[in-house]
């Protein structure tokens, strides 16, 4: 669904992985005359050429992006791909340099890319509520500009970190949920305002607005993901109260019945879902919901695996580049200390390989390396329990790289 524009190429003798070896990964065949539609012959080298834009942002953003780039560079050399990286500014650093949280040059580079990897934006320096613009404006704008209407957030517990979670091991063990949060509509983008009333009070309003097609496209995307997973989709709404939720309920029921009859589909009210996530998280597979409900539920769910430092996310549109990022912020309290956990960003890079470049094997190899590093007992400061020693940002990435190289 999300194929890179830069494309595959067969070349002779460029020192990358020979085509026959690449085929073992991609096609599980000893040799073929055409690979992904590209004519090739023995001795050729198959390379995926992809343009990746890096947006390090603020705080620990540059520290974790540097490590994710190292991982992508190893993937490129191991699997014979060519990733062309370029770095651009967003957030607070962009406000300092240009007065804009998302300069036009950054938008243009993102548009011309195959995928975007973002660190984080924001920090106390830019927190003035009266400022003309704020770092977060850069994030909202890039999502709008690129039509990134779906935010995917996998919530997976790692066996090795079960005891780091505030919840009991027996409740969270085996949790593997993929959230689809609608990202460009609803309460955060509907008409809003503040007015003065004659009696001296103020009246404020925000409006949840959705159209049929906005609901259709995200429900379809979530359903396609469910088909590749455990064939179960849960739609979360507040249809007992909100008109916009009643539209969600009608539209998703129709799409599921007409287009995805084999998927086990259910609906849950958002207030119940908030409880179920803490009492029976393993009963969910793919969950789809509106912008604000998704915002709150995914933050709640992010507590299940135990640390913010482990969770990646992806924002996708129906075409064009996807945007990948860790869910944590710029962590100004630890910025510059070399102790930030880079694993969420490395896992976001794995999502980028899977969803934007179609490189499933490569994505899985990164995820497996992260798991092995945790299984071997290596931890960053945010993951250790009392008395355990921890590794810094660079050192834990070194272990991931070693594990990938084997
Ligand atoms: N997508 C984004 O860019 C994004 C998301 C959330 C917050 N923010 C911004 O980040 C700034 C800080 O926000 P916050 O403190 O509420 O949230 P935060 O996620 O930055 O930090 C919360 C806590 O988690 C820790 N933490 C976060 N990521 C970590 C990592 N990779 N390794 C180790 N520890 C980590 C921090 O040290 C902090 O104690 C604010 O300006 C906020 O607006 C940005």
CATH of the domain at 42: 3.40.718.10
Question: Which tokens in the block code for residue 163?
Answer: 């005891």
CA of 109 to the centre of ligand 1 (A): 26
Residue 362 maps to a domain: yes
Examine the residue annotation and report whether 266 is marked as an active-site residue of this protein: no
> Which among 210, 238, 378, 382 is annotated as catalytic?
238
Mean pLDDT of the chain: 89
Residue 343 maps to a domain: yes
**Rounded mean pLDDT, 73-79:** 92
Task: Show the domain range for 82.
Answer: 8-149+317-405
Quick one: which of 118, 137, 130 has its CA closest to 59? 118
Q: In this predicted structure, what is the pLDDT of residue 281?
A: 97
Of all protein residues, the one whose alpha carbon is nearest to atom 26 of ligand 1 is 331
Confidence of residue 22 (pLDDT cuts 50, 70, 90): very low
Examine the residue annotation and report whether 299 is marked as an active-site residue of this protein: yes
Please classify residue 347 by burial: count the beta carbons closer than 10 Å to its beta carbon, then call 0-12 exposed, 13-18 middle and 19+ buried: buried
- 8-state DSSP, 391: B
Mutate to test the pocket of ligand 1, among 55, 308, 328, 391 (most ligand atoms within 8 A of CB): 328
Q: In this predicted structure, what is the pLDDT of residue 207?
A: 97
Given a cut of 70, whether residue 50 has pLDDT beyond it is: yes
Q: In this predicted structure, what is the pLDDT of residue 10?
A: 53
Closest atom of ligand 1 relative to the 118 alpha carbon = 3
> Which among 114, 285, 295, 382 is annotated as catalytic?
295
Of all protein residues, the one whose alpha carbon is nearest to atom 44 of ligand 1 is 329
Of all protein residues, the one whose alpha carbon is nearest to atom 10 of ligand 1 is 329
Least confident of 45-49, 216-220, 245-249, 328-332: 45-49
Q: In this predicted structure, what is the pLDDT of residue 34?
A: 53
- CB–CB of 254/213 below 8 Å? no
Residue 191 maps to a domain: no
Confidence of residue 47 (pLDDT cuts 50, 70, 90): low
Q: In this predicted structure, what is the pLDDT of residue 385?
A: 80
Residue 198 maps to a domain: no
- 8-state DSSP, 166: S
250 backbone dihedrals φ, ψ, rounded to 5°:
-65, -50
Quick one: which of 403, 399, 397, 405 has its CA closest to 67? 397
Residue 263 maps to a domain: no
Closest atom of ligand 1 relative to the 124 alpha carbon = 41
Closest atom of ligand 1 relative to the 344 alpha carbon = 31
Q: In this predicted structure, what is the pLDDT of residue 21?
A: 42
Residues with CB under 6 A from ligand 1: 60, 120-123, 136, 139, 308-309, 325, 328-334, 340-341, 344, 382
CA of 328 to the centre of ligand 1 (A): 5
Residue 209 maps to a domain: no
Residue 366 maps to a domain: yes
Q: How many domains would you assign to the chain? A: 1
Of all protein residues, the one whose alpha carbon is nearest to atom 21 of ligand 1 is 331
Integer Cα distance of 393 and 381 in angstroms: 9
Confidence of residue 226 (pLDDT cuts 50, 70, 90): very high
Q: In this predicted structure, what is the pLDDT of residue 14?
A: 39
Given a cut of 90, whether residue 216 has pLDDT beyond it is: yes
- CB–CB of 16/79 below 8 Å? no
Q: In this predicted structure, what is the pLDDT of residue 301?
A: 93
> Which among 104, 299, 333, 337 is annotated as catalytic?
299
> 3-class secondary structure for 50-80?
EEEEEEEECCCHHHHHHHHHHHHHHHHHHHC
Least confident of 153-162, 250-259, 263-272, 277-286: 153-162
Examine the residue annotation and report whether 25 is marked as an active-site residue of this protein: no
**Rounded mean pLDDT, 157-162:** 88
Least confident of 55-59, 114-118, 156-160, 206-210: 156-160
pTM recorded for the entire structure: 0.86
Place of tokens 């190292």: 70
Q: In this predicted structure, what is the pLDDT of residue 43?
A: 54
Residue 102 maps to a domain: yes
Confidence of residue 166 (pLDDT cuts 50, 70, 90): confident
Confidence of residue 308 (pLDDT cuts 50, 70, 90): confident
SS3 298: helix
Examine the residue annotation and report whether 271 is marked as an active-site residue of this protein: yes
Closest atom of ligand 1 relative to the 325 alpha carbon = 1
pLDDT in tens, 261-302: 999 999 999 999 999 999 999 999 999 999 999 999 998 998
Closest atom of ligand 1 relative to the 381 alpha carbon = 33
Percent of the chain with pLDDT over 70: 88
Percent of the chain with pLDDT over 90: 74
> 3-class secondary structure for 259-306?
HCCCCEEEEEEHHHHHHHHHHCHHHCCEEEECHHHHHHHHHHHCCCCC
Please classify residue 342 by burial: count the beta carbons closer than 10 Å to its beta carbon, then call 0-12 exposed, 13-18 middle and 19+ buried: buried
Mutate to test the pocket of ligand 1, among 116, 142, 161, 329 (most ligand atoms within 8 A of CB): 329
- 8-state DSSP, 184: S
> Which among 25, 176, 188, 232 is annotated as catalytic?
188
Q: In this predicted structure, what is the pLDDT of residue 388?
A: 84
Of all protein residues, the one whose alpha carbon is nearest to atom 5 of ligand 1 is 329
CA of 331 to the centre of ligand 1 (A): 4
Examine the residue annotation and report whether 295 is marked as an active-site residue of this protein: yes
400 or 3, which is more confident: 400
Confidence of residue 25 (pLDDT cuts 50, 70, 90): very low
């Amino acid at each position: 669904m999300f194929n890179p524009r830069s494309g595959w190429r067969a070349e002779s003798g460029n020192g990358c992985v020979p085509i026959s070896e690449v085929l073992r990964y991609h096609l599980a065949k000893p040799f073929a005359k055409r690979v992904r539609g590209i004519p090739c012959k023995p001795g050729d080298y198959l390379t995926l050429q992809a343009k990746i834009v890096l947006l390090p942002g603020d705080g620990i953003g540059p520290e974790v992006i540097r490590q994710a780039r190292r991982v992508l560079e190893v993937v490129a050399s191991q699997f014979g791909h060519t990733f062309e990286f370029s770095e651009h500014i967003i957030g607070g650093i962009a406000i300092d340099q240009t007065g804009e949280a998302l300069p036009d040059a950054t938008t243009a580079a993102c548009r011309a890319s195959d995928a975007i990897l973002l660190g984080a934006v924001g920090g106390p320096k830019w927190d003035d509520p009266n400022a003309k613009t704020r770092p977060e404006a850069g994030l909202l704008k890039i999502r709008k500009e690129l039509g990134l209407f779906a935010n995917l957030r996998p919530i997976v517990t790692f066996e090795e970190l079960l005891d780091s979670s505030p919840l009991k091991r027996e409740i969270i063990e085996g949790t593997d949920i993929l959230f689809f949060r609608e990202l460009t509509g609803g309460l955060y983008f509907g008409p809003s305002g503040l007015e003065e009333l004659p009696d001296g009070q103020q009246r404020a309003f925000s409006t949840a607005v959705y159209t049929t097609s906005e609901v259709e496209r995200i429900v379809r995307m979530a359903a396609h993901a469910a088909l590749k997973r455990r064939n179960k989709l849960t739609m979360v709404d507040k249809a007992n109260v909100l008109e916009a939720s009643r539209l969600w309920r009608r539209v998703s029921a129709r799409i599921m019945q007409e287009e995805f009859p084999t998927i086990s589909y259910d609906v849950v009210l958002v207030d119940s879902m908030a409880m179920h996530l803490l009492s029976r998280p393993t009963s969910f597979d793919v969950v789809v919901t509106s912008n604000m409900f998704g915002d709150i539920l995914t933050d709640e769910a992010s507590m299940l695996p135990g640390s913010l430092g482990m969770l990646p996310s992806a924002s996708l549109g129906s075409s064009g580049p996807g945007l990948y990022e860790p869910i944590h912020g710029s962590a100004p309290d630890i910025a510059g200390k070399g102790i930030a956990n880079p694993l969420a960003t490395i896992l976001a890079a794995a999502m980028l390989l899977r969803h934007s470049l179609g490189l499933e094997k490569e994505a899985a190899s990164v995820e497996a390396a992260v798991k092995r590093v945790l299984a071997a007992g290596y931890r960053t400061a945010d993951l250790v329990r009392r008395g355990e020693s921890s590794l810094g940002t660079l050192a834990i990435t070194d272990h991931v790289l070693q594990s990938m190289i084997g």
